């Protein structure tokens, strides 16, 4: 979603009115079991997929079958998604609802080592003997920009694209927030029951620990990003079994964890 904005364009030869596309940003409220759970600033679009991917990342669901109902509150123009979990799933994750934000907001007042240990204890490591040709991985990361129409219009959107082991694109999403783009791309596959085919994630952004957390929950073994990972992301990806790589300054990749998957 984007809007057209009129502004003043200054340049050495003059000053005139001009128009540009600017990216949309609105709150999305997610309600679980009738209660407020989170409010996310995001680019409108793919609300159901976004909420699904977010709930997977938070550990509230593992598959679409854990969801009893998911819907926009008041039709397509709403900024609220309501989710009810099936009773057996609610029995498993009820404590998570009571301690909302224990993972996603715990970076305040907790050290990096404790945070990594906490996340590793709650997420099952990714184990796979997947091997991908490094050159083809590089090419798909380079081609990510070709799947970013919102970025071309607004110069302000992040993207996440997910591929299977044969480099067939499974989903792609754009958003003002890199976390949101990833949640949308993952959530689309959860809704379609195709997440198990995901092998490669390409990101337009850097890789932070939150992006590793979300990718590990989605069981996607390889992350390729335009920018470098943070140290905490590397520390988390290693025990969780994720491969992280990013562009170098020329025409190659830096591979930070589990390099055996890129051949």
| 125-151 pLDDT per residue, tens | 999 999 999 999 999 999 999 999 889
Q: Who contacts 159 (Cβ-Cβ below 8 Å, separation ≥6)?
A: 144, 147, 148, 151, 172, 173, 174, 181, 203, 204
Q: Are residues 97 and 153 in the same domain?
A: no
pLDDT digits (tens, 9 = 90+) for 209-254: 999 999 999 999 999 999 999 888 999 999 999 999 999 877 789 9
What tokens appear for 115 in the block?
Answer: 């945070």
Domain containing residue 34: CATH number: 3.10.20.10
Q: Would 6 be classed as within a structural domain?
A: no
| Count of the separate structural domains present in the chain | 2
pLDDT at 11: 65
Q: Who contacts 142 (Cβ-Cβ below 8 Å, separation ≥6)?
A: none
To the query of whether residue 108 is one of the catalytic residues in this protein, the response is yes
Among candidate residues 73, 108, 111, 137, the one labeled active-site is 108
Distance (Å, rounded) from C-alpha 189 to C-alpha 168? 13
Q: Are residues 152 and 52 in the same domain?
A: no
| Full residue range of the structural domain in which residue 171 is found | 134-261
Contact criterion met (CB below 8 Å) for 41 and 176: yes
pLDDT at 253: 92
Q: Are residues 113 and 67 in the same domain?
A: yes
**Exposed / middle / buried, residue 48 (Cβ in 10 Å: 0-12, 13-18, 19+):** middle
Q: Are residues 176 and 63 in the same domain?
A: no
> Is the pLDDT assigned to residue 97 strictly greater than 90?
no
Q: Are residues 116 and 186 in the same domain?
A: no
Distance (Å, rounded) from C-alpha 68 to C-alpha 53? 15
What tokens appear for 74 in the block?
Answer: 């008041």
> Is the pLDDT assigned to residue 202 strictly greater than 90?
yes
> Is the pLDDT assigned to residue 102 strictly greater than 50?
no
């Amino acid at each position: 979603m984007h809007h057209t904005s009129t502004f003043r364009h200054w340049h050495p030869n003059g000053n005139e009115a001009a128009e540009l596309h600017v990216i949309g940003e609105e709150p999305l409220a997610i309600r679980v079991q009738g209660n407020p759970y989170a409010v996310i600033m995001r680019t409108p679009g793919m609300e159901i997929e976004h909420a699904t991917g977010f709930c997977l990342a938070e550990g509230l669901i593992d598959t679409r079958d854990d969801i009893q109902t998911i819907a926009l509150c008041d039709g397509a123009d709403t900024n609220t998604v309501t989710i009810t979990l099936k009773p057996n799933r609610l029995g498993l994750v009820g404590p998570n609802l009571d301690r909302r934000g224990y993972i996603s907001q715990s970076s305040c007042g907790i050290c990096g080592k404790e945070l990594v240990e906490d996340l590793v204890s709650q997420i099952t490591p990714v184990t796979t003997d997947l091997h991908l040709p490094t050159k083809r991985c590089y090419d798909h990361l380079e081609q990510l920009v070709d799947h970013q129409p919102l970025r071309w219009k607004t110069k302000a959107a992040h993207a996440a694209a997910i591929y299977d082991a044969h480099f067939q694109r499974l989903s792609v999403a754009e958003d003002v927030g890199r976390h949101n783009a990833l949640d949308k791309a993952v959530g689309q596959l959860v809704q379609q029951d195709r997440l198990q085919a995901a092998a490669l994630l390409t990101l337009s952004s850097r890789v932070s620990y939150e992006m590793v957390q979300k990718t590990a929950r989605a069981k996607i073994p390889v992350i390729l990003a335009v920018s470098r990972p943070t140290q905490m992301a590397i520390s988390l990806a290693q025990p969780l079994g994720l491969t992280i790589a990013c562009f170098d300054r020329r025409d190659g990749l830096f591979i930070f964890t589990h390099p055996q998957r890129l051949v």
